Structure 1
Amino acid sequence: MKSYEVNFDGLVGPTHNYGGLSYGNVASQSNSQQSSNPKEAALQGLAKMKALMEMGFQQGVLAPQERPDVAALRRLGFAGSDAQVIERAAKDAMPLLVASCSASSMWVANAATVSPSADTRDGRVHFTAANLNCKYHRSIEHPTTSRVLGAMFADQKHFAHHAALPAVAQFGDEGAANHTRFCRDYGQAGVEFFVFGRSAFDTRYPAPQKYPARQTLEASQAVARLHGLSDDGVVYAQQNPSVIDQGVFHNDVIAVGNGEVLFYHEDAFLETDKMLAELQARLGKCGGNFQSICVPRAQVTVEDAVRSYLFNSQLLSRADGSMLLIVPEECRGNERVWQYLQSLTSSGGLIREVKVFDLKQSMQNGGGPACLRLRVALNQTELAAVNPGVIMTAPLYGTLTQWVDKHYRDRLSENDLADPQLLLECRTALDELTQILKLGAVYPFQIN
């Protein structure tokens, strides 16, 4: 039976803004308080989805969240009508209003960790929504994320959904941004690669000194248990604390993998040789041939990687066996990175082509091509069981671009977040979107 890696891209929400909320994310902080363009952001993301679909890749879409999150503000003591809650938050605690308006759910690499049926004990595809408890503005996402994923992957015969891990520091879970799967074929058993920044209980593991390590070893281990993964099918590795302190807040900022290939920076991990040997041995038991591409620090520095998001790219396997790398425009703007990519593709190695996409609106807020997609490996039967409304087609692309043009603003500043009309615009848009994507009632305003 044929199997696929389906990329479900996050649709950028109507409140896309540059709040500078993510400490440790260089781009997020450096562009704080600038005016954003939600319409352009959403259209840039949709253009990438359409392009990958037209290249022959299976492509889906994942809906954004309701923002501002008035219910979250009510839990923090703001009372009255929805408009009054927003007005009082703007007057008394503007940072909380900004956090409640974050459109960071667009980066669905953080939505969940996904294990394909070929790896799990019960033969179903498993999803665990990420608690994202390191940042308040992201910690409020997982209830809606769970409902949206449940509406997309509803057939319990094929799909299993787990609640987010306990929302405490010891189980900080950032989802698929720290998870990669290696396999010979998407439908065959593979090796799931969990990368953590620190251990909550074991002091033998070093921790970064400047920026927080968001993913814990204990969270990764818990997800592996929930998904019913075998010990032989899992490898754990620690991120290099020094690169976290240079702005590598997730592993997908310094490494990306797909199929049998890991593309990574020389400084990405601790005990790299041991990790590579373990991946090679375990994938070999699955019939695979693990291969790695190391980018030397002498050619591309960690700073270059963070500024360009070279590794926050999509590494895609094509039908002819070659690999395609999807990178943001910022890679072309960095001389060292672009020179490296030209030499990489001209060498006749594993990665044969690089395609560049303009994702400036997302990049300025700290997320590149890899942040915008959640990878789900599905066989033909499972793909047929996915809610068809979320699978990208040419007609759906046309409908969604019209929807964005109708509902999104082309400029948004911090002061605009205090406008109660923005909440009404968002709810109107999302109510229509759930009908377009056939999701049913998934948002609080539709349920309460």
Structure 2
Amino acid sequence: MYRHNAESSFCFINRLNGAPNDELQQTGEHEPTSALLSYCKHKFLRPYTLILSVVGLNPISTDMSPVRACCSYVQALVVLCVLLLGYLLRYLCGYRGDRGFNSYRDIRPYSLESSDGANATTNTIGELLFGYVVPSSLNLLGFGAAVFICKIVDHEQLQNLIERVFLMSAKPKRLCRMLWLFLGVAFALLLLLFAYACCVVLMQPEQIIKVAWLAAMLQEWEACLRASLLCTILLQNLVEVIILSSYYIECYLLRVHLQALSHKLLMHSIDSLDWMREVLEFRKLLERLNQHVAIPVCFLIVMNLAYAFAGLVYLFKDFDFHYCALKLVLLNIANVMLWLFLGLLPFFVAASVTRVCQSAQANGHQIRVRPFVYHNTSAEDLNSTLLFASSLDMSAKLFRMPIQPNYLCFAILVVALVILTLGMCLNLTALGKI
């Protein structure tokens, strides 16, 4: 099936072994495809699966033993229980993702507050529902959907995608470097989110439990409560970052796969009929991304954008700049920017996949204007390739909607105008008079 890529894969194996180009031997004396798949397994698939297994999202393969499969399910169940405990601690401590603790009075310097617990706040039904229940439910649904897709629906489709991309790509080492680049960026985002949580929790008054009778009982366990709150926040952020980074990596693999197919067609290194078969297989992988992998990402997008916009309204309207230190203001601004970045980045990644899919539609026209490359190809084959490529209608989808780059730019413009309007109308005197 992948005989058209045997020559490039053999050259890659020789580069790995350090053999010069003039000493290449015949491909029949080696097994380049098997060696390339082995390289893919050890350098890409195994580390990637290990990262997913940190939060119990590693897929269940057919060659996995029953004991390992059972341990994988138990690990996902343990992560689920810790997440539920974290949601409860958030409510008891009054910690919200959009603003830290639930009122600006809670994050003023401690000397401004009375020491008799007068700063305790009572949550309304609306604040309980929209401040804690709905965001926690979205985070939980995202994790639950990811577990269901990875362990029940997906099976070995992820491995199939990675192996196809490696066999088709001319630069397997670059794929491995990009994997670690994506994981490095994800780790940096995780550190930024956790750094904000650490700063906010450590800057609070001595008691963080807002329920009066429970605060009196747990007064001696204050340090343990702070550590537990930070650990559960770290796990929630870790789950989200891993789910989002997995989506980004799969989008990148699909983009590389289609670009490699287009390049091989234009260079006439693949038969047009084989190219059509490979594009149909790519369509199946893209449908998997749109119908399965994108589901947990959609839940997290709603939560992240809700945190970002709620934090913006809080900064412009409710946050009292007069009584808060500048570092608290900067922390909340950084928090809003992080949530906004996490909420918008999936749209940009999906738009990049859509752009590559749209460029693939022009492949049929491009081979028609390459007489020196396809001079031995019949006009009938060229016309069939042209009709097939022109009929392709593929795009990455989020919320069951195709993500187009032009619509995305318009949405970013609307968001920028909303932010500017909030700054002009809601908080003109927040920073005081000059």
Greater share of helix residues, 1 or 2? 2
> Which protein is richer in strand relative to its size?
1
For the aligned pair, the TM-score class normalised by the smaller chain equals under 0.3
Give the TM-score of the pair, scaled to structure 1: 0.25
Structure with the bigger RCO (C-alpha within 8 Å, sep 6+) is 1
